[in-house]
Structure 1
Amino acid sequence: MAVTTDIVATYRGPAAVIRKLLGQGTREDRALIYVMAGCLIVFVAQLPRLSRVAHLTGQDFQMLMGGTLLAWVFIMPLVLYILAFLARMVGRLLGGQGTGYGARLALFWAVLASSPLILLHGLVAGFIGTGPALTSVGVIWLCAFGWFWIGGSLAQERAAA
């Protein structure tokens, strides 16, 4: 099944998608692609906002873009690996039966699956700016990301026996 189809299915039920992905076997290359693609999409989503900031403040757009690229494409995947490790430790303390790969997959998939909302957030930030619309889209993204991550984490903690 295509990744886009899985992303749409995640909005209906993240646990089923994570179980399906886990059923395909342990594939660290797939997890790495998910986190890199998700972080790259988040970087692209920041470009309209950065363009607005550069225009309004007179800052150099290239510098803003370079810093955001460093943060999202090089540093954030490492942070997400650490966060997945911590989530797995919490799962283990709570008696979960999941794996480190499952914890990484749940988090990385949550980032990738929620990326359409991040793209919308970037567009709102770039074209409308700060205000209730941006806050609303941010809250919707945060809720969706949390639902995907928690639902996927619970599914992977229950999946292994």
Structure 2
Amino acid sequence: MSIALDILRTYRAPREVLRRRIGSREREDRALAILMGACFLIFVAQWPRLSREAFMDDTVAIDGLMAGALFGWVIIAPLFFYTLALLVHWGLVAFRRASTGYMSRVALFWALLAAAPMWLLSGLLTGFIGETPATSMVGVLALGSFLVFWGSGVVEIAKRPVAAQE
């Protein structure tokens, strides 16, 4: 399946798409590719806002802002998300759910990638019109879509039968 079509389908049926994305075999390379793609798209979403900040304040160079965002989203954020997925996995195991670390990672990483178009829209609006209540609302919708996708993914993992782990 196409990534773009799966992202669109996630807005309609997130659990079904995640079920298909987890698949029958663990593919850590796919999980990492999903995470890095999501982090890169969210980094790209920052460009219009950073450009506006550099234009409005001439004491701050655009290259410094971009370097900081790049370091944060492409180096630090993946480490944070791997840690967060591990904590969620441990929580599911503590409640005796049929979870694997891979399933927990894919649920989190896919939620990030599926919500990335909302982050791109938020960054674009903030770059063009600045920080307004409308751009804040789009940011809240982006965060909300991520949380809904991730929550439905965790529910999907938690409802799997214990035999699915083996």
Q: What TM-score comes out, normalization by structure 1 length?
A: 0.96
Which portions of structure 1, spanning 4 or more consecutive aligned residues, are displaced by more than 3 angstroms?
none
CA distance in 2, matches of 1:88, 1:42: 24
Conservation of the 8 A alpha-carbon contact between 1:97 and 1:160:
yes
Q: Which residue of 2 aligns with 1:122?
A: 123
Question: Over the residues paired in the alignment, what is the CA RMSD in angstroms?
Answer: 1.0
Conservation of the 8 A alpha-carbon contact between 1:80 and 1:107:
yes
Identity of aligned residues (%): 44
Give structure 2 stretches of 5+ with no counterpart: none
| Offset at residue 157 of structure 1 (A) | 2.5
Check 1:80–1:134 CA distance in 2 against 1; reply closer, same or farther (3 A cut): same
Q: Which residue of 2 aligns with 1:47?
A: 47
Equivalent position SS for 1:12:
coil
Q: Which residue of 1 aligns with 2:16?
A: 16
Q: Which residue of 1 aligns with 2:155?
A: 154
Q: Which residue of 1 aligns with 2:105?
A: 104
Matches within 5 A, 1:72-91: 72-91=73-92
Equivalent position SS for 2:46:
helix
Matched to 1:32, the amino acid is L
Conservation of the 8 A alpha-carbon contact between 1:18 and 1:156:
no
Q: Which residue of 2 aligns with 1:37?
A: 37
Q: Which residue of 2 aligns with 1:4?
A: 4
Q: Which residue of 2 aligns with 1:26?
A: 26
CA distance in 1, matches of 2:160, 2:8: 22
Matched to 1:94, the amino acid is F
CA distance in 2, matches of 1:29, 1:156: 20
| Offset at residue 95 of structure 1 (A) | 2.7
| Offset at residue 114 of structure 1 (A) | 0.4
Equivalent position SS for 2:25:
coil
| Offset at residue 123 of structure 1 (A) | 0.4
Conservation of the 8 A alpha-carbon contact between 1:99 and 1:160:
no
Conservation of the 8 A alpha-carbon contact between 1:19 and 1:159:
no
Give structure 1 stretches of 5+ with no counterpart: none
Equivalent position SS for 1:159:
coil
Conservation of the 8 A alpha-carbon contact between 1:49 and 1:123:
yes
CA distance in 2, matches of 1:98, 1:90: 9
| Offset at residue 160 of structure 1 (A) | 4.8
